[in-house]
Amino acid sequence: MLEKSNYKKNKEIDLGEKMLNGQGVGKLATCRYGFFPMSYNGCEIIAACNLRRLLGIPVPLSEVAKEIYPYGNSFSGLFGTWPSALRRYFRENNIAVKELTKFEEFKVEFSKGQYAVISFWNAHHVFKGLHTVCIENVPEGVKVYNRSNQTEIPVIYSKLDDYMDSGRFIRGYIATE
C-alpha cells in the first residue's frame, strides 16, 4: 500500500532522461521509498533505473520503485532494498544479467561486459550500511553512477580495484545483452 502513495508522489517529480546521480540532492532527493526519502535508501532503485537507461530501455524511477517495493524492501525501506531482490526485478523485466557474489569472478566477467550493478558494504563491517551503484566500462576505466549522496556527476576510476575491494563486495549483476 505504501508503494502506491509513494508512486503517486514520485511520478509527479520530473527527473528528466539523464543518468541519475547524487541521491541526496535536487529533485532525486525528494523521491520516496518506503517511509523514507530516497536520499536515505534509494540506491538500489536508482542503480536499476540507471542500468535500464544505459541499456536503452528506460522507465521512470517511480515505476522501478513501485515494482520492487513489495518484495524487495528491507523493513519498510529502513535498510533500502535487499540487493538480492534486484535478481527478481531483472528477471521479471527480461533484463538479462549474470549474478556474481565473488569479487574476483565479478572483475573478470565485468572486464568482458559493458554495464553492471554492484552492491557493497560502505566499510569493512556491516554497521556502516551498504550502497548499490550502476557502473559502466569506459575507455578511461570504470564510470560509477550515483557514487554518493552529494555527487551529481558520475565518477571515473582507472580500474575497478580503485573503487571497490573484495572485503566490501556483496554481489554484482552484469548485463549480458
Q: What is the pLDDT of residues 85-108, one digit of tens each?
A: 999 999 999 999 999 999 999 999
Range(s) of the domain holding residue 170 = 2-175
CATH of the domain at 110: 3.90.70.10
The count of other CB atoms within 10 Å of the CB of residue 70 is: 11
Distance separating alpha carbons of residues 123 and 83, to the nearest angstrom:
16
Res 140: pLDDT: 97
> pTM for this structure?
0.95
pLDDT-based confidence at residue 125 (cuts at 50, 70, 90): confident
Angle (CA) 176 136 41, round 5°: 100
What's the structural domain count of the chain? 1
